Structure 1
Amino acid sequence: MSYLTLNRRAALMGGALAIAAPAIIGSATTAQASGADLPMRALAQFSLGDMRITVIDDQLFTVPTAIFGANVAEGSVDALFAKFGLQQEFANVQGAVFLVETEGHKVLIDTGMGDITLPDATPDNGRLFAGLKAVGVSPEEITHVFLTHGHYDHIGGVSQDGKACFPNAAHFMSQTEVDYWTAAPGTEANFVNLMIGYGNDKLNPIKDRIQIVADGDEIVAGITAIAAPGHTFGHMAVMLESNGEKLLHLIDTSVHYIVGTNEPTWALGIEQDPAAALETRERLFGMAADENLLVAGYHFPFPGVGRLSRTQDGAFLYTPVSVS
């Protein structure tokens, strides 16, 4: 697939998400209104071995449910949602950032939406900095920032007004993601170019700080990058391990906790490589289920931590666990 190609269903979703505004494409500037001043909505803290993990609820947005089944018949997703007693037609999606404190390091896994507000949307994002303040951590104290992929809801807080938000941190990202999201966007007013424009705005100011990571590389001891392509071409998951305890952070391997797990063959409308995304789901879900790992999902209901088990029909079931 061409970097600037989007499947028909995803293009339709772009309109439904109200993010294909031509006025934004040229400069891809972030909106003046910011969620950064909104009160903190939720925090959770727990230990994994000697690691201290803080989960910060950064964002909330609404998407049409059809986006979760771009390759299935119309109405299939709503039927699945009805089966689980969920609202149909539109779904609320959260996004939460992990702060991992380990061996003197303070590591952020992604940075939320920052000051980005989508066209025609009410700001309900950018709560990362309020969350850090709530637990007594300043941006200057962050030692490492791992950017799992270049979507605006994961990189929005890494820079603002052309300056790094975490000035003393080492930054990490895959080469594929750096190259794709810092390339110049096209001139056509579409979803892909809007997203690349946001990538330019947020990543170019810190591009010379980024250290390239590949599958199996450690950010710090116990925090390992895991190749998880499909959602984006260079998308990565993260394995956390301390004193024999493990947590596999799936990031966006599954954006919805019901659809991606119960129907792993269903493609998300914005996946860059649906075939690779399916392979990633089967591989990581299978590993998590077979090893009884704790898992986390960036967009799973807060705090987004649970376990996966195999079902009789070859899919998976996500069960949240209490971490407080």
Structure 2
Amino acid sequence: MSYLTVNRRKALLGGALLAAAPALLAGTTAARAGGTDLPMRAVARFSLGDMRLTVIDDLLFTVPTAIFGANQPAGSVDKLFAKYGLPQEFANMQAQVLLVETGDAKVLIDTGMGDITLPDSTPDNGRLFAGLKAVGVAPEDITHVFLTHGHYDHLGGVSQNGKPCFPNAAHFMPESELAYWTAAPGTEANFENLMIGYANDKLAPVKDMIKTVKDGDEIVPGITAIAAPGHTLGHMAVMLTSGDESLLHMIDTSVHYIVGTNEPTWALGIEHDPEAAVATRRKLFGRAVEENLLVAGYHFPFPGIGRMSQKEDGTYLYTPVSVA
């Protein structure tokens, strides 16, 4: 099933959410034109076995709540949010990049949004570089970059002004993601083609540096790519293991920490394959519970580290944990 076919169906379910980028992205953040010069907002550093992990807050953005329940009756997400005392109609979201230091390797899991500028938005992204500087890591020090999928808020920091941001790093990306996001966008003015256009621009300077990965491949010892299709067709999660300690980074398996976990069958409006996304959520949530894993979510409230538990009705609960 093609991305275009899936998203035309989602556009019908979600109304104007996917029909026009400004409508979907009202209030969404963007970097200053010309550079990622915003100051650091927050970093969190902790250890996983012999690994040193650093979570860097890259951006804040706002989306209509309806996007989280594209296959549900209107108002369903707001009712759920009201139950948890959250604001309705619009949801505030974060995105954070993970730096993993293990042995001689310094590995970035995704690169944030970089200097991408979105319609009708205010600058509040591209903070990755200030976060790296705050912990004494220069872009030239990064040895590996793993792009888990092709959405602009995950690969926006990989290049700038036509040059790689991490010139000494080996770059990795799922093969199907690389193929899709480097193909030319369509001519229809919609959010999908907007994202493809951003990906084209950001991936072009590093395309020849990218090695493709498949399920089970190691980026470096202890960092393993995990197939997690649905959010995009080739979307991947990441397993970190050091000694007896493990962390499953779910990336965008669940974009919202309440909706995706409490209602794993609810479709996100930009999912390529909603049925596969549901299966992935159940698989990864179930594994996290069974193995009592630490988990991370790219868009969960900072620093986005917690554990999963299963409720009596078979759905799940995410509980944040302190990593200080």
Q: CA deviation at 1:280?
A: 0.3
Q: Deviations over 1:242-269 (max 9, x none)?
A: 0110000000000000000000000000
Q: Which residue of 1 aligns with 2:310?
A: 310
**2:22 corresponds to which residue?**
18
The alpha-carbon deviation at position 10 of structure 1 amounts to 4.7
Other-structure match for 2:210: 210
Q: Which runs of 5 or more residues in structure 1 are unaligned?
A: 22-29
Which whole-Å deviations, capped at 9, do the CAs of 1:9-62 have from their partners, x for residues lacking one? 3562135751689xxxxxxxx976267222211110000000000000000000
- Rounded to whole Å, the distance in 2 between the matches of 1:20 and 1:312 is 35
Per-residue CA deviations over 1:300-319 (Å, capped at 9, x if unaligned) read 00000000000000100000
How many residues of Structure 1 are paired with residues of Structure 2 in the alignment? 316
Within-5 A mapping of 1:16-165: 18=22, 33=33, 36-165=36-165
Cα separation, partners in 2 of 1:17 and 1:35, compared to 1, 3 Å? farther
- 8 Å CA contact 1:19, 1:119 repeated in 2: no
Matched, 1:188 2:201: no
Q: Greater CA deviation, 51-60 or 34-43?
A: 34-43
Deviations 1:164-212 (A, max 9, x none): 1000000000110000000000111111110100110011211111001
* SS of residue in 1 equivalent to 2:22: coil
Q: Aligned equivalents of 1:291 and 1:319: distance in 2?
A: 16
For the structure 1 residues 17 and 61, does the alpha-carbon distance in structure 2 shift closer, same or farther, using more than 3 Å as the test? Answer: farther
SS at match of 1:283: helix
Task: Measure the CA separation in 2 of the matches of 1:263 and 1:17.
Answer: 26
TM-score normalised by L of structure 1: 0.95
Matched letter for residue 13 of structure 1 = L
Contact kept, 8 Å, 2:20 with 2:190, in 1: the verdict is: no
Give secondary structure in 2 for the equivalent of 1:201: helix
- Structure 2 counterparts to residues 1-16 of structure 1, below 5 A: 1-5=1-5, 6=7, 7-8=10-11, 9-10=13-14, 12-14=16-18
The SS at the match of 1:99 is strand
- The residue type paired with residue 257 of structure 1 is Y
Partners of 2:82 and 2:106 lie apart in 1 by 41
SS at match of 1:18: helix
Aligned to 1:171: 171
The 3 A distance-change label for structure 1 pair 242 and 193 is same
The secondary structure found in structure 1 opposite 2:72 is: coil
SS at match of 1:288: helix
* Cα deviations by residue, 1:136-185 (Å, 9 ceiling, x for unpaired): 10000000000000000000000111111000000000110000000000
Question: Percent same amino acid among aligned pairs?
Answer: 75
Pair 233,76 (structure 1): closer, same or farther in 2 beyond 3 Å? same
Moved more, 35-44 or 276-285: 35-44
- TM-score for the superposition, normalised by structure 2: 0.95
Shift of 1:2: 2.4
**Is 2:223 the partner of 1:223?**
yes
Which whole-Å CA distance do the structure 2 matches of 1:188 and 1:95 have between them?
28
Counterpart secondary structure, 1:186: coil
SS in 1 for 2:17: helix
Residue pairs, 1:271-310, within 5 angstroms? 271-310=271-310
Change (3 A) 1:121 1:217: same
Tell me how far 1:223 sits from its aligned partner.
0.2
Alignment CA distance shift 1:19-1:210 (3 Å): farther
Aligned mates of 1:34, 1:62 — CA distance in 2: 23
In 2, are the aligned partners of 1:106 and 1:143 still within 8 Å (CA)? yes
Relative to 1, partners in 2 of residues 1:238 and 1:61: Cα closer, same or farther, differing over 3 Å?
same
Q: Deviations over 1:261-317 (max 9, x none)?
A: 000000000000000000000000000011110000000000000000000001000
| Whole-angstrom CA distance in 1 between matches of 2:14 and 2:136 | 40
Classify 1:73/1:206 alpha carbon distance in 2 versus 1 (closer, same or farther; 3 Å). same
Q: Over aligned residue pairs, what C-alpha RMSD do you find?
A: 1.6
Q: Is the 8 A contact 2:31 2:122 kept in 1?
A: no
The farther-off stretch of 253-262 and 9-18 is: 9-18
| Whole-angstrom CA distance in 1 between matches of 2:275 and 2:161 | 37
SS in 1 for 2:36: helix
Larger displacement relative to structure 2 (176-185 or 5-14): 5-14
